Amino acid sequence: MSGFGNAFSSSIGKKYIMGITGIFLILFLIVHCGINSLIFLDDHGLKFNIGAHFMATNWIIRAGEYVLFLGLIIHIVQALRLTLLNQKARPVKYAVHDGQSNSKWYSRSMGLLGTLLLIFLVIHLKDFWVVSRFSGIPTVDANGFEDLYAVMREKFQDPVRVVAYVLLMISLCYHLIHGFASAFQTMGWNHSKYNGIIKSVGVWYAIIISVIFALMPIAVYTGLIN
């Protein structure tokens, strides 16, 4: 195997891949959250459908989606490989181990949180992405665009789905709180002088993104937006 291949198959290389793909996903969430937030304009989803149409027809966005999915798959695979590698490196657990004294519970539960988010992703893609990209939406809005907002309203009339989305956004929040700072640290973009700022930005980023995503199904279900 070449030196380049060895670098990225090593433990450090795997962590770099996790960091790179993690940062890419963080940036994507900003764009995705911004466009989805158009539903709060309460204009019967007209602006939201314009944004959805742009996402569905712009070739740069479409290409970026496939890059995103590839990055997401790599992120998940590398996370599993790192977990197995760490377990293999330490086959015998310490007799006494107080995890709470060294890390937050969500830092020790990234595997579980990631699994929950994977379940959410499958449901989310089935509910919206597959319909928008492949099945076709039978109704159009006043501007003549496919009415993805109508699909959202239909899906979020189910209280079980709404509760599930909200709970999974809580998982996303904790995953991002750890992952944001961890990605910067992995890439070497950290310094004792700025670590506190990076951590604070990461916490606020995680909270804002997760709350906005969680409010969407709540607002639709409760009729706060029409």
In a domain, 132, yes or no: yes
What pLDDT shows up at residue 86? 65
pLDDT digits (tens, 9 = 90+) for 190-210: 777 888 888 899 999 999 999
Question: What is the pLDDT of the chain when averaged over all its residues?
Answer: 79
In a domain, 96, yes or no: no
Q: Are 152 and 128 in contact (CB under 8 A)?
A: yes
What pLDDT shows up at residue 204? 95
Give the range of the structural domain holding residue 211, as residue numbers without chain letter: 3-91+103-222
What pLDDT shows up at residue 7? 47
CATH number where 173 lies: 1.20.1300.10
In a domain, 34, yes or no: yes
Structure tokens that stand for 164 in this block: 């599930």
Considering only CA atoms, which of 15, 22, 16 is closest in space to residue 85?
A: 15
What pLDDT shows up at residue 83? 67
User: Poorest-confidence range of 2-11, 15-24, 112-121, 191-200?
Assistant: 2-11
What pLDDT shows up at residue 96? 47
End-to-end CA distance of the chain: 58
In a domain, 76, yes or no: yes
pLDDT above 60: residue 64? yes
What pLDDT shows up at residue 20? 81
pTM: 0.75
What pLDDT shows up at residue 22? 79
Q: Are 212 and 51 in contact (CB under 8 A)?
A: no
In a domain, 97, yes or no: no
In the three-class reduction of DSSP (H, G, I as helix; E, B as strand; rest coil), residue 102 is classed as coil
What pLDDT shows up at residue 215? 95
- Work out how many domains the chain is built from and give that number: 1
Q: Counting Cβ atoms within 10 Å, is residue 203 exposed (0-12), middle (13-18) or buried (19+)?
A: middle
Rounded to an integer, the average pLDDT of 3-27 is 68
Considering only CA atoms, which of 193, 167, 197 is closest in space to residue 180?
A: 197
What pLDDT shows up at residue 213? 93
Cβ contacts of 127 within 8 Å, gap of 6 or more: 151, 155, 161
